Structure 1
Amino acid sequence: MKRAIRVSRSASQRLPNRANHWFKWLSPGLLVKRWMFISASGVLLILLGVGIWSRRTPVFHLTQLFGDLLELLTRLIPNYVSGPLVLGLGLLLVFWGQKRTVRSISEVLMSDRDEELVDVLINHRKLNRGAKVVTIGGGTGLSTLLRGLKVISANITAIVTVADDGGSSGRLRREIGVLPPGDIRNCIAALADEEKLLTELFQYRFKAGDGLVGHSFGNLFLTVLSDITGDFERAIAASSKVLAIRGHVLPATLSDVRLWAELADGRYIEGESNITEARGKIVRMGCKPANPPALPKALDAIDEADYIVIGPGSLYTSVIPNLLVPEIAEAISARQVPCIYVCNIMTQPGETDGYSVADHIQAIDRACGQRLFDSVLVQKTPPSAKALIRYAQEQSHPVDLDADAVTQLGRQIIRANIMIEDEETGYVRHDSRRLARVIYRWSERARQKW
């Protein structure tokens, strides 16, 4: 008896859930209801066409036929019984046919996913209606931001630096002549649906093999694809399509740029990795060749953007290199849309020792010779004592917020808790979901004012 009651309750719970699931197909914007209506209209037109073709003057004969059937039916069964019965039978056949159709489609498209097809469609429509956002940067900072933004909008364009000359990217750049794929690889992995598996695959570094040791699989993948497709831009587009990423990843330029920096002690350093290792105060920065041309698609994305995000990332080796492409800086400056800079949480030894938030802003202003953004996002609360001790051993400290100096620079300060801390290692980084949500809310308010 108890088992029968449990079965009955279970069935009664499943019924509302299934009903709610099917009602989802009537959600606005799925473009399903109109096609169901068109299909039904098509069936009626087919019947009408057959009647006309066979010269049966269908309107009269069909009306007469239906009239005779209805008259016979109402003689046998009262109309208050037969009417609802026929109506219910028709609805049942339509429901059954649509259910089997959707199930057949789901079995093919969703065989390896736990989600319902209707939920995937609703999410897909929502993401494709999201705001057009352009992000500018490189390194792990930009990929962290992209992980959060991809659950808010699919209309993302990441403009990424190609000035890296260290590690696996540097070796491929020197030995094969390909543009450094490292930062591009990180961004593609961050925007992919199967991000965890893809990140592990792309970040995998060979531990053996003549000439392979130290190379990451993702870098080699993009390098080979570049050779197959004919150029780096096509390789990125092809890999993005194969991996079904949300949005687009674009290099800032296709020129083989090399960074240089003048330090306060008079030294002149060339190469991104050498600039960091020099551990001096940077007073001026540029690239060779000077004034490299921007990728046209990157400029198009900026022209169409609803808002623009600069950073987070290493100030001099991830963020500023993109802005050394004059056309990109000019395109951002020309757009009358909200633009925000995401400031780093900690200073970076060899790049931003002792820097405050205002110092970061001034460095960007100097590099591109104009003001590009009107707001700056900073971490609200400091890291834990354990993290501060951990970073102090590496000569790194929290970026100080000198609010008065930032205000004098004409920037609005956005304070928010956008940090996540690894309890085991003591390292801190931006939390992708929190960061994306804060930026989204800021952009909505800012766009209303614009």
Structure 2
Amino acid sequence: MKQIVSRLSALRHLLPSLSLTFIGIVLLSLGVAYLFIHAYRTVEGLPDVVWWLTLQFLPRPLRGVLLLAVGLMVLAGGIWQLSGVVVIPRPQQLPADGELVLGYDRARRPRRVVVISGGAGMLILSGLSDQVDRMTCIVPITDPVEYYYRASGLLNQPNVYYVVPTPEPLEVIAELDDGTLIDVRHIHLHPELAERYVRQLRLSQAALPQLTRVTLDALREADAIVLGPGSLFESILPNFLLPEFAEAVRTSSAKKIFICNLMTEPGRTSGFRVADHIRVIREFAGITPDYVLVNAQRIDPETTRIYAAAHQTPVYLDPSDYEELATIPGDMHGQRGVMIEGSMVIEADLSAAVIQYTTSLDNPQQSRAVRVLRHDGQKLAAALLELLRRA
């Protein structure tokens, strides 16, 4: 009831105009009715269809009641639809040199978004599920889907669907720049490899499994395909080792959006800038992201020092990589865009500092609070929705 009252109250500015319109329609209807009665009584040889259209087969009282009922239903439907329109009262006194500018968005069906990521990065985008019709999360080929179902069960996400690209998890081998071959999931277990970076990815098995049907359907129907946030070589690119998956993403008409990492990954993307991430995606996935979201928040020296101790550095934009400055249609809260490697790179505030407690196996009773940087789910969702609106 409250919703009905709220919608109808939006018509208060239109009440005088609607009243005049209603009176005019009534007078017009009476005039048409009198003309019909005159023609029916004076003109001979009218076709039989007139007899049916004027409901002559019904008694006059029943005709009146039927027409009144239908008219009231049509009128109520029209008023209800009109109440859903935003009404902006026009200023009575507009300066001679003033302008009244109105904009509108074309209505379209709710969006379908596909997220290619893994680990905690995939769960960060949970807030986006409330704003889209369907969000399909394609997990890495190295991970079992059960982990994500258990984690998402705590978040109450009705529009989120987790799918696996292959029936069984696969092993992905990374070749580092020094020639080392290692399971991509185990690089972080070897501190001696922290300064290295991944040069190549390959599957450990020769026979390629078939891509699941639900994955193909999701990629075909997507309005946007989001890469990240998550580990570039562990969570995003391994799926593109399947030719069928890579082809489905390449041929999809969806906008491709890459969420760049906040920090480099030891042993995987050491020394990478934003441009390096885009080049790797072009090389391994065969696609050029339409948009790349990069964190613009400046990192304080203390946080930078903590990450440097773990062989991680902020992923930044290097002016030498700029191809051209780009104008972003519509002001996106101070964001600026540049073209790098064919992608529109947009800087925005996407992160938040959080306190993380760590402990050691030697002394589990003693914990230490560390200030770390993480992608902010709400900020990411807002930036993605703005990109989808403009796209």
Q: TM-score, normalised by structure 2?
A: 0.62
- The alpha-carbon deviation at position 276 of structure 1 amounts to 5.7
In structure 2, do the counterparts of structure 1 residues 425 and 300 end up closer, same or farther at CA, with 3 Å as the change threshold?
same
> Cα distance, 1:292 vs. partner?
3.6
Q: Give the equivalent residue in structure 2 for 1:48.
A: none
Q: CA deviation at 1:143?
A: 1.0
Paired with 1:408 and 1:420, the residues of 2 have a C-alpha distance of: 25
Q: 1:271 to 1:281 in 2, by over 3 A?
A: closer
Matched, 1:144 2:61: no
Residue 223 of structure 2 corresponds to residue 306 of structure 1: yes
| Deviation, structure 1 residue 386 | 2.7
Unaligned runs of 5+ in 2: 11-57, 66-107, 323-338, 356-368
Quick check: 1:248 aligned with 2:161?
yes
Aligned counterparts, 1:47-66, within 5 A: none
* Structure with greater strand percent: 2
Letter in 1 for 2:119: G
1:1-58 CA-partner distances (Å, limit 9, x unpaired): xxxxxxxxxxxxxxxxxx6445258799xxxxxxxxxxxxxxxxxxxxxxxxxxxxxx
8 Å CA contact retained: 1:161, 1:183:
no
Q: How does 1:48-447 map to 2 (within 5 A)?
A: 130-145=110-125, 147-164=126-143, 179=144, 181-183=146-148, 185-186=150-151, 188-189=152-153, 192-193=156-157, 245-270=158-183, 272-274=185-187, 277=190, 278-279=193-194, 280-290=196-206, 291-368=208-285, 370-405=286-321, 407-422=339-354, 425-446=370-391
* In structure 2, distance between residues paired with 1:27 and 1:154: 29
Match for 1:140: what amino acid?
A
Cα distance change on mapping 1:373 and 1:184 into 2, 3 Å: farther
Opposite residue 254 of structure 1, the aligned amino acid is P
Letter in 2 for 1:263: L
Residue 262 of structure 1 contacts residue 284 of structure 1 at CA under 8 Å; is this kept in 2? yes
Q: Which runs of 5+ in 1 are unaligned?
A: 1-18, 29-58, 67-127, 165-178, 194-244
Task: String of CA shifts for 1:377-416, please: whole Å, max 9, x gaps.
Answer: 1001222233222212212111121254363511111111
Q: Is the 8 A contact 1:138 1:319 kept in 2?
A: yes
CA distance in 2, matches of 1:27, 1:271: 60
Report if the CA contact (8 A) 1:150-1:191 is conserved: no
Q: For residues 131 and 140 of structure 2, what CA distance do their matches in structure 1 show?
A: 24
Looking at structure 1, the residues matched to 349 and 146 of structure 2 have their Cα atoms a distance apart, in angstroms, of 32
- Distance in 2 (alpha carbons) for counterparts of 1:326 and 1:403: 34
User: How far apart, CA to CA, are the structure 2 residues paired with 1:350 and 1:180?
Assistant: 26
Deviation (angstroms), 1:288: 2.6
Contact 2:184 2:233 in 1 (8 A): no
341 and 144 in structure 1: CA distance in 2 versus 1, 3 angstrom threshold: same
Report the CA distance shift for 1:403/1:137 in structure 2 as closer, same or farther (over 3 A). farther
Alpha-carbon shift at residue 313 of structure 1 (Å) = 0.1
CA contact (8 A) 1:137 1:322 kept: no
Closer, same or farther: CA 435–27 of 1 in aligned 2, 3 Å: farther
Give distance in 1, aligned partners of 2:176 and 2:305. 28
- Alpha-carbon distance between aligned partners in 2 of 1:256 and 1:190, rounded to the nearest angstrom: 24
Percentage identity across paired residues of the two chains: 32
Measured after TM superposition, the shift of residue 274 of structure 1 is: 4.3
Q: Which residue of structure 2 lines up, in the alignment, with residue 217 of structure 1?
A: none
Aligned residue identity for 1:347 = T
Runs of 4+ in 1 over 4 A off after TM superposition: 24-28
What SS does structure 1 have at the residue aligned with 2:131? coil
CA distance in 1, matches of 2:248, 2:112: 15
Matches within 5 A, 1:1-20: 20=2
Q: 1:395 to 1:417 in 2, by over 3 A?
A: same
Question: What is the TM-score with the length of structure 1 in the denominator?
Answer: 0.54
- In structure 2, distance between residues paired with 1:272 and 1:336: 31
Q: CA deviation at 1:271?
A: 5.1
In structure 2, what residue type is equivalent to 1:298?
A: T
Structure in which a larger fraction of residues adopt helix: 1
Secondary structure class of the residue paired with 1:249: strand
SS of the equivalent of 1:265 reads coil
Distance in structure 1 (CA, Å) of the matches to 2:226 and 2:184: 26
